[in-house]
C-alpha cells in the first residue's frame, strides 16, 4: 500500500474506493497489483463489514487527451 496524498505518477493504478452516501467516494489505497488490492479489500471488509469497497483500475490515458 502507498500513500494516497499525492501520487507522483500512476505506477499504482489499482485503487480501492470506499463508496459513501450521496454518490461520494474516497480512495482508500493504491496498489501496483490487482491481487494486492483484492487482499487488502478483504481485510477492510472484515474490519468494517457495513462499508462498501470496490476496486478500480485508474489509467493515465484520460489525462493525456
pLDDT digits (tens, 9 = 90+) for 14-47: 999 999 999 999 999 999 999 999 999 999 999 9
pLDDT at 62 over 90: no
Does residue 31 sit within a domain? yes
Does residue 64 sit within a domain? no
Does residue 49 sit within a domain? yes
Check residue 9 and give its pLDDT. Answer: 61
Does residue 39 sit within a domain? yes
The helix/strand/coil state of 47 is helix
Indicate the pTM of the whole model. Answer: 0.74
Residue (of 11, 44, 49) closest to 30 by Cα position? 11
The more confident residue out of 64 and 49 is 49
Does residue 37 sit within a domain? yes
Contact present, 55 and 18 (Cβ < 8 Å): no
Buried/exposed code over 48-64 (b: 16+ C-beta within 10 A; e: otherwise): eeeeebeeeeeeeeeee
Quote the number of domains for the chain. Answer: 1
> Which domain covers residue 19, as residue numbers?
14-57
How confident is the model over 3-20, as a mean pLDDT? 79
Does residue 52 sit within a domain? yes
Does residue 5 sit within a domain? no
Residue (of 6, 64, 8, 43) closest to 16 by Cα position? 43
Does residue 1 sit within a domain? no
Amino acid at each position: 500500500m502507498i500513500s494516497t496524498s499525492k501520487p507522483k505518477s500512476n505506477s499504482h493504478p489499482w485503487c480501492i474506493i470506499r463508496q459513501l452516501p450521496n454518490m461520494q467516494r474516497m480512495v482508500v489505497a493504491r496498489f501496483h497489483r490487482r491481487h494486492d488490492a483484492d487482499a487488502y479489500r478483504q481485510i477492510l471488509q472484515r474490519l468494517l463489514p457495513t462499508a462498501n469497497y470496490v476496486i478500480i483500475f485508474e489509467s493515465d490515458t484520460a489525462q493525456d487527451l
